[in-house]
Amino acid sequence: MDTREDKNVVDLLLEQHTQVKNLFREIPQATGDRKEELFEDLVRLLAVHETAEEIVVHPTARSNIDDGERVVESRLNEEREAKEVLAELHDTGVRNPDFDRKLAEFEESVVAHANHEEQEEFSQLRAKLPEDRLRRMAGAVKAAEATAPTRPHPRATGESAMANLLAGPPIAVFDRVRDAVRDWTKSNK
């Protein structure tokens, strides 16, 4: 039986894709503070997921999969667009009547992006890299998860985790994640 510790990077990222899709289903059903909490969970998960891919997965894919440069650049473009839409969603706010419609549009693009990753990047990584390397890469992703904030930082300018992730502190989050991955990689060579 697969435990979280046994998973390779592809399994771990596929699990995160499922978590993202589940949050997209839960958020429109929720109201008030619960809706805000779920949206913050989505933002955190997306931040951790995309940062881990940027630091761990994409560099490996560039040099190890067929047409790696093109595949990775396409995914990075999708991720940049998604970050812009996510910022717009934050500005809209979960209590705005347009939020659910905008969230549904965002979900469409995120699911398309996830499908592209799964078909063009993850499948090739699984086929071309040895299992032990994929497992080591999962360790770096787990290190990234462990460093991401779970709640708002007390000195941040905003009142929510979303504000922390979008209004300047994302650089700190990305730096913390990058540092954790770098440190994990050094200690696990």
Closest CA to 9 of 172, 123, 151, 119: 123
Is pLDDT at 188 greater than 90 in this prediction? no
pLDDT band at 43 (very low <50, low <70, confident <90, very high): confident
- Which among 55, 63, 64 has a CA at the least distance from the CA of 183? 55
Q: What is the per-residue pLDDT for 17?
A: 97
Q: Judge whether 125 and 57 are in contact, CB under 8 Å.
A: yes
Amino acid 1: pLDDT: 43
CATH architecture of 4-187: Up-down Bundle (1.20)
Predicted pLDDT at 55: 83
CB 23 within 8 A of CB 110: no
Predicted local distance difference test score (pLDDT) of residue 20: 96
The structure tokens listed for 86 are 């996510």
Using the predicted structure, report yes or no on whether residue 141 has a pLDDT greater than 90.
no
Distance CA 183, CA 62 (A): 22
Is a pLDDT exceeding 80 seen at residue 162? Answer: no
CA distances from 134 to 11, 127, 185 (A): 9, 10, 13
Instruction: For the full predicted model, state whether its pTM sits above 0.85.
Output: no
Q: Do residues 28 and 105 lie in contact, with contact meaning Cβ atoms separated by under 8 Å?
A: no
DSSP state of 31: -
Instruction: Report, as an integer, the average pLDDT of 126-155.
Output: 77
Amino acid found at 41:
D
pLDDT at 160 over 70: no
- Spatial neighbors of 165 by CB under 8 A, at least 6 apart, are 43, 44, 47, 149, 173
- The closest alpha carbon to 129, from 185, 59, 182, 55, belongs to 59
**Tens-place pLDDT, residues 3-36:** 556 799 999 999 999 999 999 999 999 999 999 9
pLDDT tens by residue, 73-127: 999 999 888 888 888 888 889 999 999 999 999 999 999 999 999 999 999 999 9
In the chain, what are the domain boundaries? 4-187
Q: Are 113 and 75 in contact (CB under 8 A)?
A: yes
- Render 105-121 in DSSP notation, one character per residue: HHHHHHHHHHHHIIIII
pLDDT of residue 156: 41
**How far apart are the C-alpha atoms of 52 and 39, rounded to whole Å?**
20
- Write down the pLDDT at residue 23: 97
pLDDT score for 152: 41
Give the integer Cα–Cα distance in Å for 56 and 76: 13
pLDDT tens-digit readout, 48-85: 888 888 888 999 999 999 999 999 999 999 988 888 88
